[in-house]
């Protein structure tokens, strides 16, 4: 008997990456070892994403590949994560899947693997109001040992009309802050120098103490507690919601040098009509005010965003409003998407997906072209500045060069000069592309 080998593929957001680490930890305790070679695995897991149709299509393509593996040998295929939760038993219909496990079911994976047979597939898609995996130490998958994800909450209580996440991840719940701090201290003592606190909406983090209301903890307080672990531990977080990001969070960021000056603040659209239909619960004016507040407290704060092109009923004027907002803010970078209708969401039920495909694509391309210019302009403003970098790895293009990120999340490359991954160095920015700052050690 050899140890059973598990291979895992991860799709979707950072939270899914962290969930894969939680699964690996649970499986390790049950006697499984991780393999990075799919042909060698006894168990293949795909931790999946449902956010847009193309994300799911990609996974269907992978399931076909897994079917080929299954023809060759005895191997168990499990689909976990958001697509498992969304499609449930339907995933079994393709006859290539043995296990379907939703985001709150990972503690039951060892039992499901034990019980599964070709005639007895296993499905657990129960969502929980309590599960935060707070006692589980994720088995880190990052290669560099520098930056660790820590989930501080699960689920989402917002009802953005386009979004599938509340259906796949269930209700919002916050994790006990003591377990978060313990985990951050633990990774720091293992050499990590950066933690990224994760939640769909970190600003609504709230721990209600069972003992006394005095012990309740909100996100600003959590951020401060993690920042106090050590000045040598950098703190990042994602994602902030424009309707919830508080002045306290902004002031806490300004107060601690080791809280990185970067906020990912998804705007989605610059048109009030679209924001209303999207149920984002803020206006263009509110968003711009939040940006002004951030910049007055933290003048050099990096601000990045997400944008959706071609939401239901979007007019040319709505689209122009998005472009003008992007220009006004001057985002440092952005993730940009074409609207993809998700079954079961409010938008799918209420609003026709009526912007023609070619119009969506054209608008998205205009958004991308604008952002490329804004990113380049933002990077050009860095030239001549000195930035503190946490070294994350060796440059892919040149082995003699290292790369790392500045607090504002910009990637810098520079000649190694004998430095190592995990060290902090100061670099001066010499030139740039729209994606990278070319720098030298100072
Ligand atoms: N919780 C985060 C985002 C989670 S999803 C937040 O509220 O900002 C990441 C991004 O995917 C979203 O910000 C949005 O821009 C995009 N997205 C979500 N649903 C989408 C859909 N149906 N079609 C296209 N993009 C979508
Ligand atoms: Fe989706 Fe909105 Fe929740 Fe973000 S805040 S996960 S976009 S419902
Ligand atoms: Fe995707 Fe689920 Fe994350 S839908 S973006 S993996 S929460």
The pLDDT value recorded for residue 143 is 80
373 plus 436 within the same structural domain? no
> What mean pLDDT comes out for the span 49-72?
96
* C-alpha 308 – ligand 1 centre gap (Å): 8
Half-sphere exposure of 312 (CA within 13 A, CB side): 19
Domain assignment of residue 106, yes or no: yes
What digits encode the pLDDT tens for the residues 118-138? 999 999 999 999 999 999 999
Structure confidence by residue, pLDDT tens digits, 71-81: 999 999 999 99
- From 332, 365, 380, give the residue that closes a domain: 380
pLDDT band at 142 (very low <50, low <70, confident <90, very high): confident
Co-location of 217 and 80 in the same domain: no
Residues in the chain: 442
Query: If you ran DSSP here, which 8-state letter would residue 269 be given?
Result: -
Q: What is the CATH number of the domain that holds 159?
A: 3.80.30.20
Domain endpoint, select from 70, 92, 124: 124
- The total number of structural domains in the chain stands at 3
Q: Which ligand is nearest to the CA of 340?
A: 1
Substitution candidate for ligand 1 out of 337, 345, 351 with most atoms within 8 A of CB: 337
β pairing state of 194-198 and 32-34: unpaired
In a domain, 168, yes or no: yes
Cβ–Cβ < 8 Å for 382, 401: no
> Is the pLDDT at 2 greater than 80, yes or no?
no
Mean pLDDT of the 216-239 span: 98
Tell whether the model's pLDDT for residue 1 goes beyond 80: no
Ligand 2: centre distance to CA 440 (Å): 40
Strand partners, 304: 264, 333
Closest CA to 415 of 406, 425, 407, 191: 425
**Residue 14 and residue 94 share a domain:** yes
| Cβ-based burial of 241 (10 A; exposed 0-12, middle 13-18, buried ≥19) | buried
- Nearest Cα neighbor of 4 from 139, 142, 114, 122 is 114
- Percent of the chain whose pLDDT exceeds 70: 100
CA distances from 73 to 38, 69, 96, 166, 202 (A): 12, 7, 13, 37, 44
Asked if residue 140 belongs to a domain, the reply is no
Task: Report how far ligand 2's centroid is from the alpha carbon of 51 (Å).
Answer: 10
Rounded to whole angstroms, how far apart are CA atoms 190 and 145? 8
Distance 250 CA to ligand 1 centre (A): 23
Distance of CA 279 to the CA centre of its chain: 21
Same domain for 430 and 287, yes or no, is: no
Provide residues with CB under 6 Å of ligand 2.
156, 158, 160, 163, 165-166, 200-201, 241
Compute, in angstroms, the gap from residue 188 CA to the centroid of ligand 2: 30
Inside any domain, residue 39: yes
Residue 436 forms part of a structural domain: yes
Last residue of one domain, picked from the residues 380, 407, 430:
380
Q: 399 CA to middle of ligand 2, Å?
A: 40
Residues 416 and 337 reside in one and the same domain: no
Domain presence at residue 138: no
- Averaged over 269-277, what is the pLDDT? 98
Nearest CA to ligand 2 atom 4: 200
Task: State which residues form the domain around 329.
Answer: 147-380
Mean pLDDT (whole number) for 73-101? 97
Q: Convert the pLDDT of each residue in 184-208 to its tens digit.
A: 999 999 999 999 999 999 999 999 9
The predicted-structure confidence for 405-423, as pLDDT tens digits, reads as follows: 999 999 999 999 999 999 9
Residue/partner pairs of 244-248 with CB below 8 Å, 24 or more apart: 244/201, 244/203, 244/204, 245/203, 245/290, 245/294, 246/203, 246/218, 246/219, 246/220, 247/293, 247/297, 248/218, 248/220
- Are residues 103 and 35 part of one domain? yes
For 327-361, the pLDDT digits (tens) are 999 999 999 999 999 999 999 999 999 999 999 99
* Alpha-carbon radius of gyration of the chain: 22
Residue at 314 is within a domain: yes
The ligand that comes nearest to the alpha carbon of residue 307 is 1
* Cα(385) to centroid(ligand 1), Å: 33
User: 340 and 253, same structural domain?
Assistant: yes
Residue 59, pLDDT > 90, answer yes
Q: Which ligand 3 atom is nearest residue 169's CA?
A: 7
Residue 142, in any domain of the structure: no
Q: 338 and 194 share a domain?
A: yes
Average confidence (pLDDT) over 280-284: 98
- Residues with C-beta less than 6 Å from any ligand 1 atom: 51-52, 162-163, 165, 200-201, 239, 241, 266, 268, 306, 308, 337, 339-340, 342
Co-location of 402 and 365 in the same domain = no
Q: What is the pLDDT of residue 235?
A: 98
DSSP secondary structure, 102-159, as one string: -TT-GGGHHHHHHH-BTTB-EEE----SS---TT-------SSSSEEEEE-EES----
pTM: 0.96
The whole-angstrom separation of Cα 45 and Cα 241 is 31
- 220 and 301, same domain (yes or no): yes
Buried b vs exposed e over 206-221: b needs ≥16 C-beta within 10 Å? ebeeeeeeeeebbbbb
Each residue's pLDDT tens digit, 19-58: 999 999 999 999 999 999 999 999 999 999 999 999 999 9
- Same domain? For 55 and 175 the reply is no
CATH code at 56? 3.40.50.12160
Per-residue pLDDT tens over the stretch 154-163: 999 999 999 9
Cβ 413 vs Cβ 430: under 8 Å:
no
Distance CA 219, CA 92 (A): 40
Instruction: State percent of the chain over pLDDT 90.
Output: 97
In this structure, are residues 54 and 78 in contact, taking their beta carbons and an 8 Å threshold? no
- Kindly identify the ligand whose nearest atom is closest to the C-alpha of 162: 1
| Nearest CA-CA partner of 416 in 405, 403, 428 | 403
CATH number for position 403: 2.40.50.140
Ligand 3 centroid–CA 327 distance in Å is 28
Rounded to whole angstroms, what are the CA distances from 290 to 179, 271, 287, 322, 355?
31, 16, 5, 16, 30
Pocket residues: Cβ below 6 A from ligand 3? 12-13, 15-16, 49-51, 81-82, 164-165, 168-169
Domain identity same for 223 and 75:
no
Q: What 3-state class would DSSP assign to 424?
A: strand
> Which atom belonging to ligand 2 lies closest to the Cα atom of 239?
4
């Amino acid at each position: 008997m050899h140890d059973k080998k598990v291979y895992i593929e991860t799709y979707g957001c950072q939270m899914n990456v962290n969930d894969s680490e939680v699964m690996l930890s649970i499986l390790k305790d049950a006697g499984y070892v991780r393999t990075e070679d799919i042909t060698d695995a006894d168990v293949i897991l795909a931790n999946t994403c449902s956010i847009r149709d193309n994300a799911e299509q990609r996974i269907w393509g992978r399931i076909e590949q897994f079917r080929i593996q299954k023809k060759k040998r005895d191997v168990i295929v499990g689909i976990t994560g958001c697509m498992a939760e969304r499609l449930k038993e339907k995933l079994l219909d393709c006859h290539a899947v043995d296990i379907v496990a939703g985001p709150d079911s990972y503690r039951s994976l060892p039992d499901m693997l034990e019980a599964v047979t070709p005639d007895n597939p296993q499905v657990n898609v129960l969502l929980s109001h309590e599960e935060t995996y707070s006692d589980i130490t994720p088995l880190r998958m990052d290669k560099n040992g520098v930056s660790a994800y820590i989930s501080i909450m699960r689920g989402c209580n917002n009802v953005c009309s386009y979004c599938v996440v509340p259906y796949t991840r269930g209700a919002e719940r916050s994790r006990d802050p003591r377990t978060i701090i313990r985990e951050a201290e633990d990774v720091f003592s293992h050499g990590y120098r950066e933690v990224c606190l994760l939640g769909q909406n970190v600003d609504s983090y709230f721990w209600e103490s069972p003992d006394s209301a005095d012990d309740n903890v909100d996100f600003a307080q959590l951020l401060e507690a993690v920042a106090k672990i050590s000045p040598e531990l950098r703190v990042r977080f994602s994602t902030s919601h424009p309707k919830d990001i508080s002045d306290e969070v902004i002031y806490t960021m300004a107060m601690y040098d080791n809280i990185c000056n970067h906020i990912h603040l998804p705007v989605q659209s610059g048109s009030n009509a679209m924001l209303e239909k999207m149920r984002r619960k803020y206006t263009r004016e509110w968003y711009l005010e939040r940006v002004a507040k951030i910049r007055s407290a933290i003048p050099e704060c990096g601000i990045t965003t997400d944008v959706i092109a071609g939401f239901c009923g979007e007019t040319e004027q709505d689209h122009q409003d998005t472009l003008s907002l992007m220009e006004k803010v001057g985002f440092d970078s952005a993730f940009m998407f074409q609207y993809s209708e998700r079954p079961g969401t409010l938008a799918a039920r209420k609003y026709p997906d009526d912007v023609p495909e070619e119009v969506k694509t054209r608008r998205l391309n205009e958004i991308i072209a604008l952002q490329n210019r804004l990113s380049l302009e933002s990077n050009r403003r860095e030239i001549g500045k000195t930035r503190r970098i946490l070294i994350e790895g060796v440059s892919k293009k040149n082995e003699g060069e290292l790369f790392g990120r500045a607090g504002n999340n910009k990637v810098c490359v520079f000649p190694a000069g004998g430095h190592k991954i995990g060290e902090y160095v100061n670099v001066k920015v010499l030139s740039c592309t729209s994606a990278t700052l070319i720098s030298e050690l100072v």
